[in-house]
Amino acid sequence: MKNIFLSIIGIFSCSLVIFSQSYTGHTVDNFAGIHGVIYNPANVVASNLRADINLISTSVLIDNDYLGLGIGNIADIGDEFDDSLERFKSDANNFNINADILGPSFMFNLNKKNSIAFTSRVRVMSNINNINGELFETIADDFGDEDDFDFDNQNFVGTAHAWAEICLSYGRILISKPKHLLTGGVTVKYLQGAGGAFTKANSLEGNYNGSTELLQSNGLLTYGTSSDFDLDDIEFDNLTAGFGLDIGFVYEWHPNRKDEETRYFQDPYKLKIGVSITDIGSINYDNGEVTTYDMNNTVDTSTYEDDLQEFLDNNYDSTIQSQSTSFQLPTALHLLLDYRLAKKWLISAQADLSVVATDEQLNNAISNTITLMPRFESKWFSLYAPVSLRQYGGFNAGAGLRFGPLSIGSGSILSNLLSDSTQSADVFFGLKIPLYRK
């Protein structure tokens, strides 16, 4: 069993090297099809497509307030954080990773007022909140730091969870007036949990002496996993079932629509307002193992050999117990305001807000984000330029495009190119078969 500190550090480094995804901007496109449904299930109905078939899409989003993620720095990241990377150490640093693979999926219209969609997804989320940056860096560097420092971790918590989803979405036109259109949708999710790991310390304080390599600490540290879970080698062959739910509504204002016989896609809206709540639910695991370490000790870190789990077991008293665990999905509220400037030019404002407590173990959470995005949108081609403010990643500027069946983009690529101090990185890629309306 690997300790969650090093496991998440490993995922963080690996994700930056693999560097794939985050559907930033793409889910708002009125021709995004199935990608709009995972953002708001009401988007399945009154769509600009007759049907949409997703072949494969992938997205990765990384937010943190510890490490600079400029393009030049990302290329230098290997198994460990390179010394050239800019650090922003504090008493309470945070890391979020959100990886999402959208597998074979489709949506189609049943009739004028009803539509359905089927989606399959694999997701991995990892959060570290309120960890002392100096301590984090020293652990990542195998206690090779020669500087002295004090640390005081309050409400430190870390959670990593991997699961798959098989989803059925249904949407219906609820109100259809000449100038007003209201749709609603719901997605029911059958969850298959691969497992998770978590750690927490309500109060962990102490100091490190770089010259003597002595680490003095006080407090309790809890670490646990679901049964047989290894964050370094996630397997989807022994899964645990659960259920989840998305729900959403979309309102459109069509000031020029003459009557109800004029189809909504023939007279594009002037204003669109959307609201949705996604990822309601949890996955319960039996027979998990929870270890509680008594950290009241002074230890010699010169004996550390790149295995934090072994180091903790050898130097601190601990108790182990079996315990059932329930991992909360990253429940989030999404708000959208989309305004049409001209026939093919639009500008949108989005708020993506976590409704999950980030100071509780077993909870994953998205980063609170506000995004403003101008875009050009047509049947076969869309181009968008999202500008966002992320909770831990700060200011970001990106770009993306959709060209027929291909979608690619990033909500941070421009920021990553222009500054080594950018603390967020994401990119997405998608390949599908869209069937547009005539």
| 231-281 confidence digits (pLDDT tens) | 667 777 788 999 999 999 999 999 988 777 777 777 889 999 999 999 999
Percent of the chain at pLDDT above 90?
A: 59
Greater model confidence, 371 or 306: 371
Q: Are the C-beta atoms of residues 285 and 195 closer than 8 Å to each other?
A: yes
Write down the pLDDT at residue 129: 92
pLDDT at 78 (0 to 100): 46
Bridge-partner residues for 292, per DSSP?
222, 319
pLDDT for 83 = 61
pLDDT of residue 333: 96
Which DSSP category does 431 fall into?
Answer: E
Give residue-wise pLDDT tens across range 104-147: 999 999 998 999 999 999 999 999 999 998 888 888 777 877 78
DSSP letters of 211-252?
A: TTTEEEEEEEEEEEESTT--TTS--SSS-EEEEEEEEEEEEE
Other C-beta atoms lying within 10 Å of the C-beta of residue 184: 18
Q: Is the pLDDT of residue 359 over 80?
A: no
Query: 11-35 pLDDT, tens per residue?
Result: 333 333 333 335 777 899 999 999 9
The string of pLDDT tens digits covering residues 56-74 is 999 988 888 988 888 766 6
Per-residue model confidence (pLDDT) at position 72 = 66
Predicted confidence at residue 26, as pLDDT, reads 86
Domains of the chain, residue spans: 4-436
Residue 438 has a pLDDT of: 73
4-436 topology per CATH:
Porin (2.40.160)
